[in-house]
Each structure stands twice: as C-alpha cells, then as structure tokens.
Copies of this chain bind each other. A is one copy, B any other.
Amino acid sequence: MIPNRQMVLEAGNRVAPFVHRTPVLTSRLLNELAGAEVYFKCENLQKMGAFKMRGAINAILQLSEAQKKAGVVTHSSGNFGQALALAAKNLGVNAFIVMPSSAPAVKIEAVKAYGGLVIITEPTLEARERSAVSIVAEKGAVFLHPSNDLNVIVGQGTAALELFQDQPGLEYIMGPVGGGGLIAGTALAAHYLGNNCKVVGGEPKEADDAYRAFKSGKIEYNKSVDTIADGLKTNLGDINFPIIMELVSEIIRVEEEEIISAMKLIWERMKLVIEPSSAVPFAALLKEGKKFKNKKVGIILSGGNVELTNLPF
C-alpha cells in the first residue's frame, strides 16, 4: 500500500509543532567538489539529534486516546529508542524501550534521560522481540517498529517534505538506506511534492541488503555488517520495501573509506557534527559524480549522534 498525497501532507502539519524546522545549508566548496548544487537538510540538528523524532511523533499522534494511555513500545539500541522516548514524553505517553544488554551505557542513559522506561534483554533479536511482545500483552502498549510502520515512514518523510517546500526545483533527492523508513518516506515526499525529482539511496557496501533487494525484487539480508555506518545495518521490511521498489530510482553502494572521507568533508567544511550513516548519500554523490553533474541535489543529513571521543579521523 502506497500512502496517498493527503497522508503525506497531513503528516507535515501534524509533526510541525513538535519538531525543529531544520535549516537547509549549502557550501560553495562542497558544490565545487561535487560538481553539483547540493542542499543539505540538517536533521542532525533535529531534536534528539536525528530525523527519527519525526516518525515517532507522527506515529504516536495517530493513536487513539485509549492507546496513548496504554503507552508505546519498541526495541531499538539506536536513535529510534531515544526518539520514541522523547516523542512520548512530549506527548505525555509512556514509552517502553527494549534494549539489549550489549547496548552502550551512554545510549541506555540517553533513553532514560528522555523519560523512556528501559527494559534490558539478552542481546538477541529473539529475546528483544519476545520482550516487546510481552509488554504489548501485559500493558496493552502499542508496538511501533523503527522503520517498518506506515505512520513512522510517512513521518520520516516530513524532512523531505520541508526540503521540497524550501527548494522546489530539486532534480535528485538522496538519503541513507538502513531499515528503509527514511528512504521510503523521502520517496513518498518526492513523489507527491517533487517536480520529477529522482530518489537515490546511499548504502554501505558492507551492509548492502537494500541494493540486492532492489535487484532481486525480494527482501534480502546481510550476513555480516562490518560498517562504520551503524545506523544502516538493518534490513528492509515488508511495508517499506514495496514503496522503495516503486518510487526509488537507484541505490548506490559506497566503501567504508568513502563514508569516512565524506563525513570528514562535512565536518570540516560545513561545521556540522554528523554520524557516519549521514555521510553515506554524499559519499554516493561524490562516487558517481557524472550522474549528478550540474544537478540540484537534496541530501538528508540524517543524524548527529556520534561519540566525540571515537572519531574515525
């Protein structure tokens, strides 16, 4: 099911009071380097440091009052756990965040600081899912998937929606591909608000399930995920995959050193703290420069949650 235009526009209005309207920044130097006119939508400057706040807010706001009273639950060791905790707090809703015991203490503390009710499980997907299911059963809480949920997907697309409002003439829009929520939402925004704007995903070669799925026509899985882009290790889901197949033009894979080099350029030249995952689309643009030659390209800088004491440069 492809959400309609109305759903996309309504999500924009729905999340607006609860998120920052993040700036769109440009750099002449990076334009020269890329040979293109690049507009960076700075979701690293979003509340809690990532676009994930948008999907979390949109999904919670779609719940009934009874559902809101019961709370929401997700399993995530990454940004979505923090996003759901903060979004829920802002809306006066309880958020149960299932996290693996292997999650860094700083991430667990961050979720707690945002008011999330943390449940620690064994570090296996099975244990996490079992724990989430039992919270749904016991508390009546609503399970929200970080990327494979229609309201989350449409919510994530509001970053691109704002970018098209600011820059209607984009010829390409690019985003990273992890679980598929952001790129699917971005593609929906491009479909309804872009002017023949092509959607291109960037993906680490070390976790290229989406690239392979795009070729094979079915969801693929990663055997190993040896990438610095820790937000992009997950695979696509059955709700976002059809949207991606329908509305995304291409997925470009990049090497680890290309990610690090693009990340460093954005830190140095744009003075923005971004996490490695955020650098992947710009790395893809630089890699396939010819394709984007003299084009107007929008890039979603997805987030900025990175350990300052553990930088790859």
Contacts and interface: CB of A to CB of B under 8 A. Distances in A.
A54 interface: no
A44 B27 CA distance: 12
Nearest to A266: B273
A49 B308 CA distance: 20
Q: How many copies altogether?
A: 2
Contact of A47 (B28, B274, B313): B28
A93 B309 CA distance: 42
Q: Which of A45, A47, A311 has the most CB of B within 10 A?
A: A45
B47 A25 contact: no
Interface in A238-295: 264, 267-268, 270-274
A308 B272 contact: no
Interface residues of A, number: 21
Interface string A160-182: 00000000000000000000000
A23 interface: yes
A267 B273 contact: yes
A197 to B, nearest CB: 24
Contacts of A272: 45, 271-273
Interface of A: 20, 23, 25, 28, 44-45, 47, 49, 264, 267-268, 270-274, 304, 308-309, 311, 313
13 contacts: A23-B45, A44-B271, A45-B271, A264-B308, A267-B273, A267-B308, A268-B273, A268-B308, A271-B273, A271-B274, A271-B304, A308-B313, A309-B313
